[in-house]
């Protein structure tokens, strides 16, 4: 920070409760998000009502003031010490300086001494329901002068609208986050982190429809852990669960974003490979098989040997039947892998 910035900062001490004020500000999660038409409309309205060229919605962070929306002058953010709004969040009252060049606190500020040479500043703090001023709605003019009582009253009302809009946006964000989490919980298998069966089957229907529409191949790989019952019997159900969770992780790390991996049944997983013909699916399955074999699992001091058998089914738009046929094919191939000795890929 330069000496000049320091001097100005000293002229504007922080409110005693700046930490809780900042905590209140961060609850709105509005600092980095872009402005939108609704906020711009409010600054335009503020400028019009107050009959001035400049209006801003600002959010006062620890060191910088972020401009949420502006009218008349494009500003993104400024050091807190160089912004008139730092003064405005010190108290609950509206702040008005009718000639910035004559007020000792603002006369030396860059906005006053350099273009556009601001002369008038009037602001209303944006106050949260628990009483913290997190920013301002402010208007400025390059001509000195004061707002009328009616204009000040309108500015106060508009500031309440800005606050209501910030609340609305924050609630929308929180709601979307909860909905995303609910959606995730409803479609994810808790143990493996893969799609649960219902979600897998929904995605299968979708992928089959897409395959038909775009005439692309679609493959499915069924994965079944070998002698899983023995693992449970010998090492315990808890270790069995850990093995499934580790394989789920491995599968997630080895599929592409467009692939759909799900838990089809107890120790049986299914991976849908859109846009992948039989050959590619076989290669993928072989890689996965060898990685499952190479993965190390332990139960206390003992190592748990784990392998899996994999069956590949595939069709293209020429011989496409339906989703059920694809899974039947993959299942039949899996059965062959089991009967041909396990720890292998068929299909």
Q: Interface residues with ligand GTP (CB under 6 A)? A: 191, 224-229, 232, 237, 240-241, 244, 266-267, 338, 342
| Nearest residue to 155 (alpha-carbon basis) of 129, 122, 130 | 122
Which one of the listed residues 183, 267, 268, 286 is annotated catalytic? 267
**To the nearest whole angstrom, how small is the minimum distance from the Cβ of residue 311 to ligand GTP?**
12
Q: Check if the beta carbon of residue 250 is closer than 8 Å to that of residue 227.
A: no
CA-based nearest residue to 211, from 88, 326, 337: 326
Structure tokens at 230: 């023995």
Report, in Å, the least distance between residue 325 CB and ligand GTP: 23
What is the closest distance, in whole angstroms, from the C-beta atom of residue 182 to ligand GTP in the complex? 23
What are 126's two structure tokens?
A: 């944006």
Q: Known catalytic residue: 267?
A: yes
User: CA of 116: how far to CAs of 82, 111, 170, 202, in Å?
Assistant: 14, 7, 34, 60
Measured from the CB atom, the residue of 28 and 235 that comes closer to ligand GTP is: 235
Which residue number, 68 or 263, has a Cβ lying nearer to ligand GTP? 263
Token pair 């309205």 is found at 45
CB-nearer residue toward ligand GTP: 206 or 228: 228
Q: Using CA of residue 184, residue 190, residue 195, residue 200, what is the dihedral sign?
A: negative
Pairwise CA distance, residues 45 & 96, whole Å: 18
Q: How far is the CB of 42 from ligand GTP (least distance, A)?
A: 54
Q: Shortest distance, CB of residue 304 to ligand GTP, whole angstroms?
A: 12
**Please, what is the minimum distance in Å from the beta carbon of residue 242 to ligand GTP?**
8
Shortest reach from residue 137's CB to ligand GTP, in Å: 57
Which residues are catalytically annotated?
267
């Amino acid at each position: 920070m330069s000496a000049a910035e320091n001097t100005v900062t000293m002229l504007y001490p922080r409110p005693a409760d700046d930490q809780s004020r900042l905590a209140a500000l961060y609850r709105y999660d509005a600092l980095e998000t872009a402005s939108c038409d609704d906020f711009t409309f409010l600054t335009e309205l503020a400028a019009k009502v107050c009959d001035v060229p400049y209006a801003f919605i600002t959010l006062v962070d620890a060191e910088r003031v972020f401009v949420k929306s502006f009218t008349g002058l494009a500003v993104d953010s400024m050091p807190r010490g160089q912004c008139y709004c730092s003064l405005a969040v010190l108290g609950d009252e509206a702040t008005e300086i009718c000639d910035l060049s004559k007020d000792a606190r603002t006369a030396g500020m860059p906005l006053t001494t350099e273009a556009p040479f601001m002369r008038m500043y009037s602001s209303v703090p944006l106050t949260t329901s628990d009483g913290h001023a997190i920013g301002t709605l402010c208007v400025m003019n390059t001509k000195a002068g004061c707002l009328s009582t009616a204009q000040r009253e309108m500015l106060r009302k508009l500031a309440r609208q800005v606050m209501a809009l910030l609340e609305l946006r924050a609630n929308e964000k929180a709601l979307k986050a909860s909905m995303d989490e609910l959606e995730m919980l409803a479609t994810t298998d808790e143990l493996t982190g893969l799609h649960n069966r219902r979600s897998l089957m929904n995605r299968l229907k979708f992928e089959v429809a897409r395959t038909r529409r775009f005439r692309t191949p679609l493959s499915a790989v069924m994965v079944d852990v070998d002698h899983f019952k023995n693992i449970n019997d010998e090492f315990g159900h808890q270790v069995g669960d850990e093995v499934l969770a580790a394989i789920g992780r491995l599968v997630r790390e080895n599929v592409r974003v467009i692939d759909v991996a799900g838990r089809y049944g107890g120790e049986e997983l299914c991976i849908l490979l859109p846009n992948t013909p039989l050959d590619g699916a076989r290669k993928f399955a072989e890689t996965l098989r060898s990685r499952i074999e190479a993965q190390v699992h332990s139960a206390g001091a003992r190592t748990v040997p784990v392998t899996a058998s994999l069956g590949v089914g595939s069709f293209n738009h020429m011989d496409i039947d339906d989703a059920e046929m694809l899974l039947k094919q993959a299942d039949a191939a899996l059965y062959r892998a089991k009967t041909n000795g396990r720890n292998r890929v068929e299909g």
